[in-house]
Amino acid sequence: MSKENNGERKINRIAVFTSGGDAPGMNAAIRAVVRTAAFHDLHVYGVARGYEGMIDGDFSRLESRDVANIIQRGGTILKTARSQRFMTPEGRKAAYDSLLAFEIDACIAIGGNGTFTGASVFSKEYGIPFIGIPGTIDNDLYGTELTIGFDTAVNTAIEAVDKIRDTADSHNRLFFVEVMGRNSGFIALSTAIGGGAGSLLIPEVDTSLEDLIDTIRLSAKRKKLFSVVIVAEGNKIGGAATIAQKVKEQFDYDIRVAIIGHLQRGGSPSAIDRLLASRLGYRAVTGLLDGKENVMVGLQDNKVSFTPLKDAISKEKKPDQDLIKMAEILAT
Q: What's the fold here for domain 151-265?
A: Rossmann fold (3.40.50)
pLDDT in tens, 156-188: 999 999 999 998 888 888 999 999 998 999 999
Mean pLDDT of 105-131: 97
pLDDT in tens, 269-313: 999 999 999 999 999 999 999 999 999 999 999 999 999 999 999
In the chain, where the domains are located: 3-149+269-314, 151-265
How many CB atoms are closer than 10 A to CB 266? 14
Q: Using the predicted structure, report yes or no on whether residue 229 has a pLDDT greater than 60.
A: yes
52: left (phi over 0), alpha (psi -120 to 50) or beta: alpha
What local confidence, expressed as pLDDT, does residue 312 receive? Answer: 97
27: left (phi over 0), alpha (psi -120 to 50) or beta: alpha
User: CA nearest 111: which of 84, 131, 89?
Assistant: 131
Neighbouring-strand partners of residue 97: none
Q: Using the predicted structure, report yes or no on whether residue 210 has a pLDDT greater than 60.
A: yes
Write phi, then psi, for 198 (nearest 5 degrees).
-85, -20
- Total residues belonging to the chain: 332
Q: Which residues of 3-26 are buried (b: 16+ CB within 10 A; e: fewer)?
A: eebeeebebbbbbbbbbbbbbbbb
pLDDT in tens, 285-296: 999 999 999 999
Domains 3-149+269-314 and 151-265 share a fold: yes
Element holding 91 (H helix, E strand): helix 89-101
Q: Using the predicted structure, report yes or no on whether residue 192 has a pLDDT greater than 70.
A: yes
Q: Using the predicted structure, report yes or no on whether residue 332 has a pLDDT greater than 80.
A: no
What local confidence, expressed as pLDDT, does residue 223 receive? Answer: 63
Range in 90-99, 169-178, 223-232, 319-328 with the lowest mean pLDDT:
223-232
Mean pLDDT of 93-105: 98
58 belongs to the catalytic site = no
Supply the mean pLDDT for the chain.
Answer: 94
- d(CA 250, CA 300) in angstroms, rounded, equals 45
- d(CA 185, CA 9) in angstroms, rounded, equals 40
Range in 36-45, 61-70, 162-171 with the lowest mean pLDDT:
162-171
User: CA nearest 179: which of 164, 47, 102?
Assistant: 164
- Beta strand pairing status for 199-201 and 106-111? unpaired
Q: Which of 138, 140, 151, 273 is catalytic?
A: 138
What local confidence, expressed as pLDDT, does residue 226 receive? Answer: 66
pLDDT band at 267 (very low <50, low <70, confident <90, very high): very high
What local confidence, expressed as pLDDT, does residue 4 receive? Answer: 53
Q: Using the predicted structure, report yes or no on whether residue 7 has a pLDDT greater than 90.
A: no
Query: What dotted CATH number matches 3-149+269-314?
Result: 3.40.50.450
What local confidence, expressed as pLDDT, does residue 2 receive? Answer: 45
